[in-house]
Amino acid sequence: MTSKNCFMYLIVTILIISVLSACGNSNEGQSTSTSAPSPSAQSESADTASNDDGYRLLTDALGNEVKVPNHPQRIIASFLEDPLTALGMKPVAQWGYKGAPQHYLQDKLGDVPVLNVDGGLKSEETLSYNPDLIIFLSPSYLRNGDYEQFAKIAPTFVLSDNDSDWRGNLQKLGALLGKEDAANQALADYDKKLSDAKKQLGGTLTDKTAILLQGGDEKGYNLFGPGFFGGAMLYDAFGFKAPSLINGSYETYSLETLPQLKDVDYIFVLSGEGRAKPPENNPLWQELPAVKSGHVFAVDSGHWFNANPIANGLVIDDIVRYIHE
């Protein structure tokens, strides 16, 4: 080999070594940026927080770092069964009060065992179902010190710090479970259903007043205000007027205030097992124009005393069924 050829060979060798070295440095930088996600990684960065062990490291509403399984199979999400069902998923056990689950979901969850959550979800019963993920809607669903007990059973994630934001919580749940598209679709379906219902009712709702009433004892009753479960559907979603008597989200009123409901066009009364009836035998009730005109409707407390995609859809069905021109 001539000296000229030797010189050229040396240059080519140096160039190859330089290229390989640059590639190695580039790969090393990428590995560093993705293998150590921020401890506060939220669901929107879930993909970058994934690892080879089948879980994502996410931070919940209490600030806990939780190893959330990428594909949980045995979920317990007490009182989140509605949004969970809307995402096309089933829990391994479902919420129940005195042995009774949420009846309006039983066409989907009829074969799912019922938890005893009287006084709150219990760690011992939860353990018996061998969950791989436990979800609480908010800190208010946890008693003091309970989190650590559940975290010893399975990864435990507190979803939100806002119980009433059902839309945002559905999206958070979708992100947590890798069901973002299903959450967006459920919201789109709900929005269309509400829009179609309001178009169908047309001018029926114009300047109409409605209330959602819960029967009480012989002395009083409760009314739902704007932003509170079925009250949110009446006033915020459909645009019914609230009577001037309503002064809060969920307040108790004496029977002597019944005459102040004389301008109410429609009265929806919570019904269901264990629910008190309205004051039907009270003369003040019997004199109300809505009562005289037959505009009092018994509605299932299971979905009216709720705020989730399936429950709200059933409320829409009820309003369309009962309200006519």
Whether 293 maps to a domain, the answer reads yes
Residues 198 and 152 in one domain: no
Residue 196 and residue 170 in one domain? no
> Under 8 Å CB-to-CB from 219, ≥6 apart: which residues?
254, 255
Q: Are residues 144 and 253 in the same domain?
A: no
Report yes or no on 99 lying in a domain.
yes
Domain-located, residue 174? yes
> What integer pLDDT is reported at residue 4 of this predicted model?
38
Same domain, 104 and 154: yes
162 and 52 share a domain?
yes
Is 5 domain-assigned? no
Domain end call among 148, 180, 212: 180
217 and 157 in a single domain? The answer is no
pLDDT at 16: 34
164 within some domain: yes
Backbone dihedral angles phi then psi of residue 73, each to the nearest 5 degrees: -110, -20
Quickly list DSSP for 260-302. Answer: GGTT-SEEEEEESTTPPPP-TT-HHHHT-HHHHTT-EEEEEHH
* Consecutive 10-residue averages of pLDDT for the chain (325 residues): 38 35 34 31 42 84 97 96 98 93 97 94 96 97 90 98 96 98 98 97 90 93 97 96 96 97 98 91 97 97 96 98 82
Same domain, residue pair 140 and 176: yes
Q: Are residues 78 and 114 in the same domain?
A: yes
Examine the fold and report which residue of 180, 201, 219 is the final residue of a domain before the chain moves on.
180
CATH number at residue 242: 3.40.50.1980
pLDDT for res 84: 98
Quick one: which of 166, 148, 164 has its CA closest to 156? 148
State which residues form the domain around 264. Answer: 190-322
Co-location of 93 and 149 in the same domain: yes
pLDDT value of residue 325: 54
Say if CB 141 and CB 119 are below 8 A apart: no
| Tokens 């009182």 sit on residue | 79
123 exposure class (CB count in 10 Å sphere: 0-12, 13-18, 19+): middle
Are 119 and 238 found together in one domain? no
CA distances from 324 to 265, 313, 319 (A): 12, 18, 9
pTM: 0.83
- Residue at which a domain ends, from 180, 205, 232: 180
Is residue 109 one of the residues assigned to a domain? yes
Give a yes or no: residue 49 inside a domain.
yes
3-state secondary structure of 59: strand
196 shares a domain with 130: no
Domain membership flag for residue 221 = yes
Give the number of domains in the chain. Answer: 2
Same domain, 170 and 238: no
